[in-house]
């Protein structure tokens, strides 16, 4: 085969590949504007969509949180008590408490928020889990219902909630009640 014929063949292949890519892009744009994909929170994503979104979320959080410095006093009683009161005020409606398996929010949110009081939750790598929880509380997660708490909460307050999350699965309902109560001096801390 001559050089000219090879060049023509390669050019034809490139034109065909470009046409295929163009067709896929046009089909994708048409799908986006068609309204065919259900956005209702009561209609789950396709399996491939769920996989793609979860993979993207977990990889993004792992990368973004890996260099976060975990405080040495994360297991202190003071952090646990302060974090517990904030958790009860801000998180329990979605992420539940000991003895509660669902709420109006958990029934209606998609994806469903994790039950952070679930005793089967296992913390395999404490440091990375602490980093991950800090990042999620601080920055939130797009299109999930999880807000970014950083605008109204400093890092110390967020670490206090992380400290509480470490202990939450171990707590009984009465222990939870005691640890999450606010004192009179804490009333303005909301």
pLDDT in tens, 135-188: 999 999 998 889 999 999 999 999 999 999 999 999 999 999 999 987 665 554
* CATH code of residue 147: 1.10.760.10
Q: Determine the straight-line distance between the first and last CA of the chain, rounded to whole angstroms.
A: 78
What pLDDT shows up at residue 26? 97
Residue 89 lies in a domain: yes
Looking at the 3D structure of the chain, how many domains does it have?
1
pTM above 0.95, yes or no: no
**Lowest mean per-residue pLDDT among 18-22, 50-54, 101-105, 119-123:** 119-123
Residue 99 lies in a domain: yes
Residues 6+ apart with CB under 8 A from 183: none
Domain interval for residue 120: 58-189
| Cα distances (angstroms) measured from residue 20 to each of 25, 27, 156, 159 | 9, 10, 53, 50
Residue 36 lies in a domain: no
Residue 31 lies in a domain: no
């Amino acid at each position: 085969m001559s050089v000219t014929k090879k060049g023509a063949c390669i050019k034809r292949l490139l034109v065909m590949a470009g046409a295929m890519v163009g067709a896929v892009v046009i089909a994708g744009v048409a799908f986006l504007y068609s309204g065919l994909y259900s956005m209702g929170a009561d209609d789950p994503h396709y399996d491939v969509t769920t996989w793609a979104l979860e993979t993207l979320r977990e990889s993004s959080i792992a990368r973004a949180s890996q260099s976060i410095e975990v405080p040495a006093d994360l297991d202190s009683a003071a952090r646990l008590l302060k974090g517990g009161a904030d958790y009860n005020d801000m998180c329990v409606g979605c992420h539940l408490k000991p003895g509660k398996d669902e709420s109006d929010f958990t029934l209606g949110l998609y994806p469903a928020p994790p039950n952070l009081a679930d005793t089967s939750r296992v913390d395999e790598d404490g440091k990375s889990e602490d980093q991950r929880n800090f990042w999620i509380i601080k920055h939130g997660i797009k299109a999930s219902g999880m807000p970014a708490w950083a605008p109204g909460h400093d890092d110390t307050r967020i670490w206090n909630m992380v400290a509480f999350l470490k202990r939450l699965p171990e707590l009984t309902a009465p222990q939870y009640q005691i640890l999450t109560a606010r004192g009179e001096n804490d009333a303005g801390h909301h």
